[in-house]
Chains A and B, each alone.
Chain A
Amino acid sequence: MFSSNSGNTVIKSKMISRRMFLLTAGKAIVLVGVLGRLISLQINESKKYKTLSDKNRFREWKLAPERGVIKDFFDQEIASNKQVYQIHLIPENTKSIEEVFFRLKTILNITDKKIFSLKKKILKQKPWDPIIISDNLTWSEFSRVNLFLHELQGVEPIVSVARVYNDHSSAHILGYVSQASAKDLKRKEYLQKMSVPGIAVGKTGLERRLDKEIIGKVGFQRYEVNAFGKRIKQIQVDQGQAGKNYKTTLDLDVQKYVSEVLVDKAASVCVMDIYNGDIISLVSSPSYDPNSFVHGVDRKYWESLLKNDRKPLVNKAISGLYPPGSTIKTIVALSALENKIVRPLKSVTCTGKIEMFGEKFHCWKKKGHGVVNMRSAIKRSCDVYFYEIARRLGVDRISETAKKFGLGKKVLRDFVEEKAGVVPSTTWKKKYIGQNWYLGETLHSGIGQGYFQSTPLQLCLMTAQIANGGFEIKPRIIFNEKNNNLKDYLKFKNENPNQPLPEELLVANFNLKPLFKNQENIKIIKDAMYSSSNEPGGTSYRSRLQDKQFMFAGKTGSSQIKKFTEAQREAEVKQEQLEYKNRDHALFVAFAPVSDPKYAISVVVEHGGSGSKAAAPIAKKVIKKVLERHGLRKSHENSFGEEV
């Protein structure tokens, strides 16, 4: 069996050697295979794996930049930043997320709902990305968290900065910031690179308009981390860049004052420099607290804002659309003069109503104004006179003049919430309503009713362009030194303190485009507005300012919400007797001071009744305030005018 004869041994030895040879050949092939793999990994694909290795090795945490500050004309901060106390959670560093939330619940007031949504968010992001648990803690809450920090693994107390708005008067025009939503991230390209937890983006107003520049540059900290996400050492830090600061043309003191005047009313006020278009004040009322949005709005507060019938969330000055009512009469009269339809002294007899095209057209004054010419028709706001003028003029010529003076198109650039309004014409109606124009509608348009829709800002611009002698201005809210042309203005003013600016200087040096054919016509309109405010019988006579330095010239208007029935008209129902939501909107536009116009104003009080009773008294107060601050504004302007 196990014999070992030598022959057998040799045969076996040969067999072993033969088979070993086969195995060795096999080994060589395998060795070449392994070598090939090494070449492919370490030489051919080395670059790819080096990148992957760095990706393992380094981790970046983004730092939210500080938002730029928005200031008023006098460098007071309207939107600034303050220190806030936050707690962040890095899910990766916790032992058990459940446990941390449980502990946090006992330390802070966190609802189950909030915890639920936080958990959902955690699942969506990388485990080392911090999540903000609470972004605005009080000092006592913050110190309590710090006290229990040893029990809260993964929780990091952070002192950060957040937006703060010092008062509510400018809430609408400034807008507010809030956490970037998924929609924001999708729509705005510049935000996609800045996905920093808790970054606030502008949602409305200037905050939104300036968001791209004001948001700043995201910084980052790059760390070397180990496989468990523990930071080993810091490699690089980039603090990022705070956003650009912006100076506006607004006067915070005026804003606050206007806001007080408008308190509890659904109203808006615009004040504009008639020469350079600087918006001195733009207030919408009632206001809201923009701070409440910064850290996520409280549901109750949000609902109360939505339910409020005075619409606190709407910026009425640029998004509110109102029929201009009698304030449009300035434009209709101007259009008639420019198109040489009537002479200023041509008289019309008002009997309280006229019948035309089978329809009755009423004057607001039931008894009628008797014989009126252009000046007295504007002064007393006679509707019948303007029915007649409009009938002769035709809607298209009214429309042309109205558009020239800034109605029917957006005034500011890039304000999403701004509305364009409507200046009706025959082609407009054909295009948007699909019907032919009725002649009766021309008459309604002549007194600013019917299809006419305009924003208070447009009415202010319209008035400003009449007041400055009929030149085009470009309203602006962001202060701009370059296009101020202040030096010429100041020079002239210093030499001729009591004279209005001459037309040549305006056209030549201010690069202004005249909107008129004959400037005499503008003067006639301005004079008529003067009479309306400062002569007995004028619609806003009762609200006049007698002091020469404040004296203003204006035009009232009321825009009808609901047509009066014959019965109501007979019963002479007063606006105050109507239900709030059926009352007319009260409008008033003016410029001041009469001797040397500087500012234009528009006031709209929703459901205020009549312009003379509700809107003009507000304008009176605001005009006084603005003119009182005029010297201050010009000297401030002068001070940086010299710096240039």
Chain B
Amino acid sequence: MYQPRSIQSSLSFKDKLISIDFILVFSILILGIVSILAMYSTDGGEIKYHTQSHIIRFFVFFLMFFILSFVQIRFWHNTSYLIYILIFMLLLGVKYFGLTSSGSKRWLNFYFMNLQPSELMKIALILFLAKYYHRVSIENLNKIKYLFLPIVALISPVLLVIMQPDLGTSILIAAGGVVVAWLAGVRPKFFGYAFLAFIMVLPVAISFLKPYQKSRILTFLNPDRDPLGAGYQIIQSKIAIGSGGLFGKGFLNGSQSYLDYLPEKHTDFIFTLFSEEFGFFGSVFILMLYALIISRIIKAGNVTRSNFGKLYCYSFATAFFIYVIVNMGMVLGLLPIVGSPLPIMSYGGSSMMAIMFGLGIVMSCRIYKDTPVN
């Protein structure tokens, strides 16, 4: 049956280069360029601070992605727990040494950048659980004893992030973890139990929410509740997208963003800006680009032999999909405003770093598709 091939470990550089998924690389590049154009528009048609640093970040992390692609998959497998622990420590570090900005403590100050460990945790948790479920045998998979570690690994960072407070990121971290467990074959009934438990702690959790978070959820349920307050963002975003129409208002002509009606236009609402300027066709283009990227990640999962690789790629693809959908659902008024960046498009170093890091591992799974991890 499964025969590990010895030549795998001795791939030449040329072989490795050929096995790169160029479609994925190009679609990431195109998305990067689109995101730079969007950023240029948020700066009002000038290359200012946001555009500059976005360009630098994109290319720096794109280079990082490229380099990480050539790292042996075995290395990722072997260091998974370590990476998780490292990032968990950083997360703990945020709690004590973090920078506070607009009421939440999310960042660690490194001299070259402010790092947001919670963003990296999104990938680290997937990596951790991919390794865990890769190693646990199918018979033990659904034993309570073997559910204990994943639950702890998932809940601890989520709690830390909730307390920052950062509802959006914590939900996305949890979503990534749940996806790995699902793919690994954990029985649906456990997800049912988890869901029930979640419902039961919800009232308690809500009482811990900050007033602005509560009002965001209420506002999502009825945006007209307070059109000048919490509902403002949703309403203005919908106006911007809707007024874009079929063809959009044209590059640099998005009046909603140009006149500052759009909140957080660099980060969470970057899609709104793009949608306003390029209309329905622009929106669909972005949506398709994301669909392509996700399908290429799934493809990497399909070709890689190891279950670690499969679990990682599939989970990352699904998590990536969730990031995109949560962000778009938010700006389209389908989901409450929870604050989640659109991968690659949104301004933000940590998010870009995490995504590129995740993609790098995907590419590594593809290049070393036949290499056994242990």
Given the complex, which residues of A lie within 8 Å of B135, measured CB to CB?
A: 2, 4
Kindly identify, within residues 1 to 38 of chain B, every residue whose CB is under 8 Å from any CB belonging to chain A.
Answer: 1-2
**B50 proximal to A (CB < 8 A):** no
Q: How far is the CA of A33 from the CA of B140 in the complex (A)?
A: 38
A56 contacts B256, CB within 8 Å?
yes
- B199-207, B210-218, B283-291, B338-346: which lies at the interface: B283-291
Instruction: Give the CA-CA distance A50 to B239 in the complex, in Å.
Output: 7
Residues of B near A228 (CB, < 8 A) are 260
The answer to whether A103 has its CB under 8 Å from any CB of chain B is: no
User: Contacting chain B: which of A8-16, A334-342, A595-603, A610-618?
Assistant: A8-16
Instruction: Give chain B residues whose Cβ lies under 8 Å from the Cβ of A16.
Output: 183-185, 307, 310-311, 314
Shortest Cβ gap from A3 to chain B (Å): 6
- Contacts A20-B301, A225-B259 known; A56 to B239 CB distance under 8 Å? yes
Cα distance A227–B259 in the bound complex, in angstroms: 6
CB contacts (< 8 Å) of A37 on chain B: these are: 332-334
Whether the Cβ atoms of A42 and B287 lie closer than 8 Å is no
CB-CB under 8 A for A38 and B238, given A24-B298, A226-B259: no
CB B130 to nearest CB in A, in angstroms, measures 10
- Cβ contacts A414-443/B at 8 Å (1 or 0 each): 000000000000000000000000000000
B263-290 near A? 1/0 per residue, CB < 8 Å = 0000000000001000110011001000
Is A141 an interface position by the 8 A CB rule? no
Cα–Cα distance between A391 and B63 once the two chains are bound (Å): 121
Residues of A within 8 A of B179 (CB): 23
Partner of B332, one of A30, A38, A50, A224: A38
**Interface pair A49/B314, CB less than 8 Å apart:** no
Interface residues of A in 27-53 (CB under 8 A from B): 27, 30-31, 33-35, 37-39, 41-43, 45-46, 48-50, 52-53
Q: Let me know if B221 is at the binding interface, CB within 8 A.
A: no
B223 to chain A, nearest CB (A): 13
How far is A42 from B318 in the complex, measured between Cα atoms in Å? 27
Q: A19 with B246: in contact, given A2-B137, A49-B239 (CB under 8 Å)?
A: no
Report how far A577 CA is from B342 CA in the complex, Å.
Answer: 99
Name the residue on A nearest B132 (C-beta).
A2
Say yes or no: is A57 at the interface (Cβ < 8 Å to chain B).
yes
| B226, chain A: closest CB distance, angstroms | 16
- Cβ of B244 and Cβ of A34 under 8 Å apart? no
Q: Which residue of A lies closest to B179 (CB)?
A: A23
B21 to chain A, nearest CB (A): 18
Contacts known (A16-B310, A42-B279); A27 close to B318, Cβ less than 8 A:
yes
Does A232 sit at the interface, judged by CB under 8 A?
yes
B240 within 8 Å of A by Cβ?
yes
**Chain B positions within 8 Å of A11 at CB level:** 138
- In Å, the complex CA distance between A224 and B258 comes to 11
Given A2-B135, A41-B238, also A34-B183 (CB < 8 A)? no
Q: From residue B227, how far is it (CB to closest CB) to chain A in Å?
A: 11
CA distance A460 to B274 in the complex (A): 78
Residue of B nearest to A2 (CB): B135
**The one of B238, B279, B325 that contacts A34, using a Cβ cutoff of 8 Å:** B325
User: Nearest chain B CB to A112's CB is how many angstroms away?
Assistant: 30
Q: Are B255 and A57 in contact (CB under 8 A)?
A: yes
Known: A23-B318, A34-B332, A227-B261. A53 touches B243 (CB 8 A): yes
Do the beta carbons of A49 and B325 come within 8 Å of each other? Answer: no
Contacts of A12 in B (CB 8 A): 138, 184-185, 307
Smallest Cβ distance from A620 to chain B, in angstroms? Answer: 72
A345 within 8 A of B: no
The count of residues in chain A whose C-beta lies closer than 8 Å to any C-beta of chain B is 46
Q: Is the CB of A56 within 8 A of B261?
A: yes
Check A42/B259 contact, CB under 8 A, given A16-B183, A53-B240.
no
Contact with B along A387-415 (1 / 0, CB 8 A): 00000000000000000000000000000
Q: Please give, as numbers and ranges, the residues of chain B lying within 8 Å of A27 by CB-CB distance.
A: 294, 318, 321
Chain B residues closer than 8 Å to A6, beta-carbon distance: 1-2
Across the interface, which residues of B come within 8 angstroms of A31, CB to CB? 287, 291, 325
Q: Are B242 and A34 in contact (CB under 8 A)?
A: no
Alpha-carbon distance between A56 and B228 when the two chains are bound, in angstroms: 13
Residue B241 lies at the interface, judged by CB distance under 8 Å to chain A: yes
- The residues in A between 612 and 634 inclusive whose CB is less than 8 angstroms from any CB of B are none
Taking the nearest CB of chain A, how far is it from the CB of B188, in angstroms?
A: 10
Once the chains bind, are A34 and B307 in contact (CB under 8 Å)?
Answer: no
Chain B residue at smallest Cβ distance from A51 = B243
Of all chain B residues, the one with the shortest Cβ separation from A52 is B239
Q: Let me know if B310 and A13 touch, CB within 8 A.
A: yes
Does A508 belong to the interface (CB within 8 Å)? Answer: no
Q: Are A9 and B280 in contact (CB under 8 A)?
A: no
Min CB distance, B338 to chain A, in Å?
16
* A8 and B245 contact, CB distance less than 8 A: no
Q: Residue-by-residue, is B132-154 near A (CB-CB < 8 Å gives 1, otherwise 0)?
A: 00011110100000000000000
| B250 close to A (CB within 8 Å) | no
Cβ B287 vs Cβ A34 within 8 A: yes
Instruction: Determine the chain B residues whose CB is within 8 A of the CB of A567 once the complex forms.
Output: none
Report the nearest B residue to A53, measured CB to CB: B243
A182 at the interface (CB under 8 A from B): no
Which residue of B is nearest A225, CB measured? B259
Complex CA gap A48/B238 in Å reads 11
Docked-complex contact B334 and A34, CB < 8 angstroms: yes
Q: How far is the CA of A147 from the CA of B321 in the complex (A)?
A: 61
The residue on B at minimum CB distance from A22 is B182
* Chain B positions within 8 Å of A19 at CB level: 182-183, 185
B374, CB-defined interface residue at 8 Å: yes
* In contact, A50 and B185 (Cβ under 8 angstroms): no
Task: Give Cα A41–Cα B245 distance, bound, in whole angstroms.
Answer: 8
* Distance of A348 from chain B, by nearest CB (Å): 86
CB distance from A339 to the nearest CB of B (A): 77
Contact check, A42 vs B1: say whether CB atoms are below 8 A apart: no
Name the contact of A46 in the complex, choosing from B1, B243, B261 (C-beta under 8 A). B243
| B242 and A48 form a contact (CB under 8 A) | yes
Q: Contacts A20-B314, A225-B259 given: A49-B242 contact, CB under 8 Å?
A: yes
Decide: A42 and B280 in contact? CB cutoff 8 A: yes
**A351–B243 Cα gap in the complex (Å)?**
96
Does B93 count as interface, using CB distance less than 8 angstroms?
A: no
The answer to whether A644 has its CB under 8 Å from any CB of chain B is no
- Residues of B with C-beta under 8 A to A224: 255, 259
Q: Chain A nearest CB: distance from B252 CB in Å?
A: 14
Interface residues of A in 154-178 (CB under 8 A from B): none
* A9 and B301 within 8 A (CB): no
Contact B280 A43, beta carbon cutoff 8 Å: yes
Give B164-212 interface residues, CB cut-off 8 Å to A.
Answer: 179, 182-185
Q: Is the CB of A57 within 8 A of B280?
A: no
Which single residue of chain B is at the shortest CB-CB distance from A226? Answer: B259
Binding site for B on A (CB under 8 A): 1-4, 6-13, 15-17, 19-20, 23-24, 27, 30-31, 33-35, 37-39, 41-43, 45-46, 48-50, 52-53, 56-57, 224-228, 232
13 intermolecular pairs with C-beta atoms under 8 Å apart: A12-B184, A13-B307, A19-B185, A31-B287, A38-B280, A38-B284, A49-B240, A52-B242, A53-B242, A56-B236, A226-B259, A226-B261, A227-B260
Knowing that A23-B314, A53-B256 touch, tell me 7 more A-B residue pairs with CB under 8 angstroms.
A8-B137, A13-B307, A16-B185, A30-B321, A31-B291, A35-B287, A56-B259
Question: 4 tightest A-B contacts by CB?
Answer: A49-B242, A53-B243, A227-B260, A42-B280
